[in-house]
């Protein structure tokens, strides 16, 4: 233990704060909430090692993306994140499913794109997590692709409020789908791997499965969507057609005898 402390990889809390850019107060707060483990104590001084630094970097990264501390803790607890390898794993997985590169857009640009800039609709887009207000006339697009989809719907003549309805519903359904795949990975891949002691030779296979799951999930979602839309169209138009046939096949009652 003493040799490890002398090799420079272990730091006091002040040294850790300076190296990580996280305040001493926040480090202690993270420790009290179970986000980072307690320090190793020698001669009544706490020392923090590489695992602590890796966790702090992860907390900073996720916090910068708006992830709440409780969610970060659950993420670390779920993966049993006690080593640099697991922290690296979490960061890599998030990188594979990384959010889009955010862009800055002005109110004037939004008004031109949507032919309107209703403050109420802008507020709604913020509540949905599509926009972050930077200044009074500038916003950050959290998901440019979703904003583009809303603009394309609007370009088809669909009111912006209705376009946002569609995007909002898609987002809600996506949460359930994401849970299915995350639960699948945790139950069928991660937990058996974790129970086996996370052997070093098994990590490449875990990363390979994640990459394949990303591809498969995209293909499956497109196939399910196409099938569901096709069935919905058949049902809807079939019902309308049947209604039309019934109406047209009714016998002509002829002239009203009282008329």
Residue 121 has pLDDT above 90, yes or no: no
Q: Tell me the per-residue pLDDT of 17-38, one tens digit each, with 9 for 90 and over.
A: 999 899 999 999 999 998 888 9
Contacts of 92 (CB under 8 A, 6+ apart): 207
| Residue 250 banded pLDDT, cuts 50, 70, 90 | low
Q: Tell me the per-residue pLDDT of 228-243, one tens digit each, with 9 for 90 and over.
A: 888 888 888 777 666 6
The span from the CA of 194 to the CA of 10, in Å, is 27
Residue 99 has pLDDT above 70, yes or no: no
- 3-state secondary structure at position 11: strand
Q: Does domain 2-96 have CATH number 3.40.50.300?
A: no
Average pLDDT value over all residues in the chain: 81
The span from the CA of 10 to the CA of 49, in Å, is 4
Residue 1 has pLDDT above 50, yes or no: no
Does the pTM exceed 0.95? no
Q: Give ∠ CA 236-237-238 in degrees, rounded to 5.
A: 90
**Minimal CA–CA distance to 59: which of 30, 38, 19, 37?**
30
Q: What percent of the chain has pLDDT over 90?
A: 12
Residue 65 has pLDDT above 80, yes or no: no
Q: Where in the chain are the domains?
A: 2-96, 100-198
Cα separation values, 206 from 66, 84, 220, Å: 27, 16, 20
**Minimal CA–CA distance to 181: which of 127, 128, 224?**
224
| Residue 62 banded pLDDT, cuts 50, 70, 90 | confident
């Amino acid at each position: 233990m003493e040799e490890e402390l002398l090799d420079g990889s272990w730091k006091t809390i002040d040294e850790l704060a300076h190296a990580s850019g996280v305040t001493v107060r926040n480090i202690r707060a993270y420790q009290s909430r179970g986000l980072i483990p307690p320090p190793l104590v020698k001669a009544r001084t706490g020392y923090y090692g590489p695992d602590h630094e890796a966790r702090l970097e992860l907390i900073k990264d996720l916090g910068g993306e708006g992830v709440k501390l409780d969610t970060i803790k659950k993420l670390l607890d779920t993966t049993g994140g006690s080593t640099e390898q697991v922290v690296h794993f979490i960061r890599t997985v998030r990188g594979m499913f990384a959010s889009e590169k955010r862009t800055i857009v002005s109110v004037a640009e939004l008004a031109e794109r949507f032919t309107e800039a209703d403050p109420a609709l802008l507020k709604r887009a913020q509540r949905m997590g599509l926009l972050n207000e930077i200044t009074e006339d500038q916003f950050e697009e959290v998901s440019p692709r979703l904003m583009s989809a809303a603009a394309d719907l609007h370009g088809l003549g669909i009111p912006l409020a209705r376009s946002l309805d569609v995007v909002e519903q898609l987002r809600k359904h996506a949460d359930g789908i994401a849970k299915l795949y995350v639960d699948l990975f945790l139950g069928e891949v991660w937990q058996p791997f974790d129970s086996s002691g996370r052997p070093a030779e098994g990590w490449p296979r875990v990363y390979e499965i994640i990459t394949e799951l990303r591809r498969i999930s995209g293909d499956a979602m497109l196939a399910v969507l196409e099938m569901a839309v096709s069935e919905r169209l058949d049902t809807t138009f079939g019902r309308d057609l049947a209604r039309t046939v019934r109406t047209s096949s009714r016998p002509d009652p002829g002239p009203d005898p009282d008329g």
